[in-house]
Amino acid sequence: MTEAVKTPHIPLEKQKLLTVNGDEAVAWAAKQSLVDVVAAYPITPQTIIVEKFSEFVANGEVHTEFVPVESEHSAMSACVGAAAAGARAFTATAANGLALMWEILYIAASLRLPIVLAVANRALSAPINIHCDHSDAMGMRDAGWIQLFVENVQEAYDTTIQAFKIAEDERVLLPVAVNLDGFFLSHTLENIHILPDEAVHEFLGGYRKVPKVKVDYFDEEVPLMLNPARPLSFGPLDLYDYYFEHKMHQVEAMKRVPEVVREVNEKWYELTGRKYGDGILVPYEVEDADIIVTVLGSTGGTVRHIVKKLRREGKKVGMVRIKMFRPFPHKELAEILKNAKVVGVMDRAISFGSYGPSFLDINTALYDYKKKPLLVNYIYGLGGRDAPPELLEKMFNELLSDAEKGYVENKLRFLGVRE
């Protein structure tokens, strides 16, 4: 949900109204973000992003080098090469395409390359399914990427631009995945406002600036990039002597992400009048709530719709949308959830033989608290199964009755599945 600031630097009437789908919104954002290299391979429901972007390339509207590759593995590899050479690199994929990228995702993060990847979330095969769930994103959970999830088309545009700013911040230097729900956002037209090109350029500080580093064999600091004139190597052999220390750099970089995300969210708010919670969590009606539901992605809107309805009926319910999934905001989320009676954790993915991914993190977040809510995990929406308002209302009513009983019988529940 967006909140309006009274006087953004670019007032709404100076922002251009577009009625576009989520994929097109991401393409517009990439277009305005002065991306140097796009390497991509088509896959539903992402295809429109790259299709639209290649239109911009063909029309000469961007300076971008467009590399049509033969697979997603190659797409991410090309982005790694480009980003290591100092370019601002972008790609997009979904589902099996993301799975095929997996090996290179780790390399991108470990080399600290600020690549931005849009994921139009889609279920993994088999059986073949083109529709939305978050299984693809959860497969890259541990790869060292920052993972952001958006709720609507406007946020897909806003977050894609912010992603470059976050990724390239010298405190961070990590790749960012912007997740938008396949079809529910990728193929849904909504009215959005976009900034003038120059405002985006200014927000990002122009083209990508590569940080300078001190290297033993050069007299002066050199840009951290591949450059034959001042040769550096990226990712050479690193055994038990230093590998672990290099992993610690990634651990430390992740710790610095939240402050940067908050700053970028705030700067975007001043510029556009739009912000999404603190950029990390988007709580709604949580202050006195007995029941709080957590959710990622577009379903957040439908959950809010039901929270509004139940509040009108006098029920003390609230919700938190988890916008940033990696790094996971354990402490911030625990502080919001700790006083509730029952928390329903919605996951559009499952770790087979365990629970949903965000449920595991939320348990970890709350474990050390003496007073803490009961937790229930709701797996929903696999393979694009819809989560209509009535179904979510049923979930809230179950949680209300759990709160009344004071205990939870079945911690892992499947919402909207045939029995």
Q: Which residues bind another protein (CB under 8 A)?
A: 1-2, 17, 19, 21, 130-131, 151-152, 181, 183-185, 187-191, 298-302, 304-305, 308, 384, 386-389
In single-letter form, the type of residue at position 8 comes to P
Q: Residue 173: CB partners within 8 Å, gap ≥ 6? A: 112, 113, 114, 167, 211, 253
What minimum distance in Å lies between the beta carbon of 218 and another protein? 52
Residue 282 and residue 276 in contact, taking contact as beta carbons nearer than 8 Å = yes
Q: Which of 120, 107, 45 is nearest to 76 (CA)?
A: 107
**Closer Cβ to another protein, 62 or 319, answer by number:** 319
Q: Backbone phi, then psi, for 14, in 5-degree steps?
A: -90, -5
Closest CB 391 distance from another protein, rounded Å: 8
Q: Which residue, 43 or 204, is less far from another protein as judged by CB? A: 43
**Count of C-beta atoms within a 10 Å radius of residue 68:** 14
| CB 337 to another protein: min, Å | 22
Nearest to another protein of 19, 364 (CB atom): 19
Angle, helices 72-84 vs 95-110, to 10°: value is 30
Burial of 319 (0-12, 13-18, 19+ CB in 10 A): buried
Q: How far is the CB of 308 from another protein (least distance, A)?
A: 8
- Burial class (CB within 10 angstroms; exposed 0-12, middle 13-18, buried 19+) of 317: buried
Give the shortest CB-346-to-another protein separation in angstroms. 13
Cβ 334 to another protein shortest distance, Å: 26
**Nearer to another protein by C-beta: 40 or 319?**
319
Which helix (H) or strand (E) segment holds residue 97: the answer is helix 95-110
Q: Give min distance, CB of 333 to another protein, in A.
A: 21
Name the residue nearer to another protein (CB basis): 4 or 213. 4
Q: How far is the CB of 314 from another protein (least distance, A)?
A: 20
Comparing CB distances to another protein, the nearer of 64 and 294 is: 294
Q: Say if residues 37 and 77 touch (Cβ distance below 8 Å).
A: no
Cβ distance to another protein smaller for residue 189 or 251: 189
- Which residue lies nearer to another protein by CB, 186 or 358? 186
Task: Specify whether the backbone of 95 is left (phi greater than 0), alpha (psi in -120 to 50) or beta.
Answer: left
Distance, in Å, from the CA atom of 169 to the CA atom of 152, rounded to the nearest integer, reads 25
Torsion sign, CA atoms 143, 147, 153, 158: negative
Please tell me whether the peptide bond between 327 and the residue prior to it is cis, using omega within 30 degrees of 0: yes
Strand partners, 351: none
> Where do we find the tokens 């919700």?
319
Rounded to the nearest whole angstrom, what is the least distance from the CB of residue 188 to another protein in the complex? Answer: 4
Residue pair 49/27 in contact (Cβ under 8 Å)? The answer is: yes
The residue among 357 and 416 lying less far from another protein, judged by its C-beta, is 416
* H or E element that contains 272: helix 243-272
